[in-house]
Amino acid sequence: MVLGLCYLLSRPVTFILGFAEAKLQKEGHAKEGPLCSAFPADYLGSSSDTECILEPLTLPESPVSPGGVAAVEDSPHVPCIFCNECYLLPEQSQLLKHMIIEHKLVIADVKLVADFRRYILHWKKRFAEQPITDFCSVIRTNSEAPLEEQDNYFLLCDVLPEDRLLREQLQQKRLREILEQQQRERDDTSFHSMCMFCDQEFTGNRSVLLNHMAREHAFNIGLPDNIVNCSEFLAVLQEKLDNLQCLYCEKIFRDKNTLKDHMRKKQHRRINAKNKEYDRFYIINYLEFGKSWEEVQSEDDRELIDNLEEDWSDWEEHPVCAVCLFCEQQADTTGKLYLHMQKSHGFDFLKIKSEHGLNFYQQVKLVNFIRREIHHCRCYNCQEKFQSKGELISHMEETKHITFLPARSTWDQPQYYFPTYENDTLLCTLSDSEDLVTEDQSEDVPVVSEDISNLKALKQSSVLNQLLREENNSQEKN
């Protein structure tokens, strides 16, 4: 069972919240409808909580999924689904925050919505026609509080077939628009631009300039047919060079000659493929719903391997990189991470787990509780707040507040089933207490021998006795 739960935790947060939903139902907390997608525990905080985390958190080592191209709309404003409040399209996060605080609505996986404005307009029309409970999951928070202090939050996600279909249609529409834009750029003969590395001027088709930079300056940003919105792409790169910023490492230099020498010597006359800022300029990032170019390319590679030989990729173990509860230290095994927390911070996770008899679910809640308190720069024992995490950790280590837990009722709450960080790998490695048996315990375990039957009938009819008798008889005859 533990292996199954760890597997679920290793999947996207959709699965983690599914497990949280089942656990909430088991413990008798109100939960209606399907629960999916990624939002941290703080989405579900009470309305009186002034420290709610209203956006998903991620640990620093995790890459952020690439964003899409903003859709071209007649109006730059996006209305609230429920009221007359309007926000500019770049202020999307403010609108989401408004709908969470004022209307208790959470939209799952917003980054996968290809056209945010059309998405909002669709649901504004649908919510005016039918009750919100016909479309959204209902999550009740503060279930242990009096009825008048409880809050109901509404989750809109792609488990609903209509929402899934809408997201796919918007994705397909955006892909068609991008392909049309790419075709226009292919056929365009009015392109005009200067080379970023010399004074040569180019007119005609964009491919002439791109091929020149690749051939003469060893600066290759990809094949022209793989790029979209090329003029905007070149403008972004030119602005960085004008600001004396390296295109690869993003460092800023004091003058142009120093920048050129740096890019030449360090071989930084290229763009960083891991920089998500450039993803919107490559057509591959629009091909698959919710997938980056790395995922698309890895799928293509797997298909080629399947044609050649049997695929054993499912048997490969990928190293797990977990992050310390109190600092940015990372470790590829939980053993190393636990040892780091014990030696560097005085926090013995395994000892606390053993002394308190924490099961798997309680460990999940404890980790998420500590993550949230550290994020808020607040000591989880004395509740004192600090200006930075460094000051907080120094205080907790000096006062020994880091070494013991507060009252169980403080952290053993249903809200901490939900991860504070979407990509918290430490959650994937937790196990039940009975899985950890120390060497001392294993030595004291008595060994019970198998039951030996004294029945004569069983002895006489055993296969071994029959074979022995037959062999003895054959030897006597010989």
* Sequential pLDDT tens for the chain (478 residues): 434 434 434 444 444 445 455 554 555 544 444 444 334 444 444 444 445 554 556 665 443 333 333 333 456 789 999 999 999 888 889 999 999 999 999 999 888 888 899 999 999 999 999 999 899 988 888 777 777 777 888 999 988 999 999 998 998 898 899 999 999 999 999 999 999 988 899 999 999 999 999 988 889 888 888 899 999 999 999 999 999 999 999 999 999 999 988 988 888 989 988 888 898 898 888 877 666 656 666 665 555 555 555 555 544 545 557 889 999 888 888 888 899 999 989 999 999 988 888 888 899 999 999 999 999 999 999 999 999 888 999 999 899 999 889 998 899 988 888 888 878 888 888 876 544 444 344 444 444 444 444 444 545 555 556 666 666 676 666 5
Q: What angle do CA 77, 83, 85 make, to 5 degrees?
A: 35
pLDDT at position 185? 92
Residue 276 lies in a domain: yes
37/152 same-domain check: yes
Residue 202 within a domain: yes
Contact 62, 47 (CB under 8 A): no
* The dihedral sign for the CA sequence 357, 359, 365, 366: positive
Q: Does residue 157 sit in the same domain as residue 248?
A: no
Taking Cα atoms as reference points, which of 217, 187, 224 lies closest to residue 204?
A: 187
Kind plus residue range of the DSSP H or E element containing 417: none
C-alpha 46/C-alpha 151 separation (Å) is: 7
Residue 330 and residue 261 in one domain = no
* Pair (147, 210) in one structural domain: no
State the Cα–Cα distance between residues 69 and 74, nearest whole angstrom: 16
The reported pLDDT for the residue numbered 290 is 61
Q: For Cα atoms 331, 381, 330, give the angle at the middle one, nearest 5 degrees.
A: 10
Q: Say if 465 falls within a structural domain.
A: no
d(CA 285, CA 54): 27
Give yes or no for a contact between 460 and 35, defined as CB atoms under 8 angstroms apart: no
In a domain, 444, yes or no: no
Q: What is the Cα–Cα distance from 405 to 384, expressed in whole angstroms?
A: 15
Say if residue 355 is in the same domain as residue 427. yes
Domain for residue 314, yes or no? no
Backbone region of residue 2 per phi and psi (left: phi > 0; alpha: psi in -120 to 50; beta: other values): alpha
Q: Which domain holds residue 398?
A: 322-433
Domain boundary among 266, 286, 306: 286
**pLDDT reported for residue 100:** 92
**Do 155 and 208 lie in a common domain?**
no
Say which residue the tokens 């809640």 belong to: 365
Is residue 155 located within the same domain as residue 196?
A: no
- pLDDT attached to residue 96: 92
Write down which residue in 161, 177, 202 finishes a domain: 161
Tell me the three state secondary structure of residue 211.
helix
Give how far Cα 130 sits from Cα of 34, 123, 125, 134, 136, Å.
18, 10, 9, 7, 11
Do residues 252 and 347 both lie within one domain?
Answer: no
Identity of residue 20: A
Here the tokens at position 426 are 């430490």
Report the DSSP beta bridge partners of residue 204.
191
Q: Please, what is the Cα angle at 390 between 422 and 319, to 5 degrees?
A: 40
User: How many domains does the chain contain in total?
Assistant: 3
User: Residue 25 falls within a domain, yes or no?
Assistant: no
Are residues 271 and 329 part of one domain? Answer: no
Q: Which amino acid is at 251?
A: K
Q: Are 351 and 397 in a shared domain?
A: yes
| pLDDT at site 296 | 62
Write down the pLDDT at residue 435: 46
On whether the CB atoms of residues 95 and 78 are closer than 8 A, the answer is yes
Domain assignment of residue 462, yes or no = no
146 and 105 in a single domain? The answer is: yes
Same domain, 40 and 128: yes
Total number of residues shown for the chain: 478
Is residue 171 assigned to a domain? no
Smallest CA-to-CA distance from 34 within 153, 156, 122 is with 156
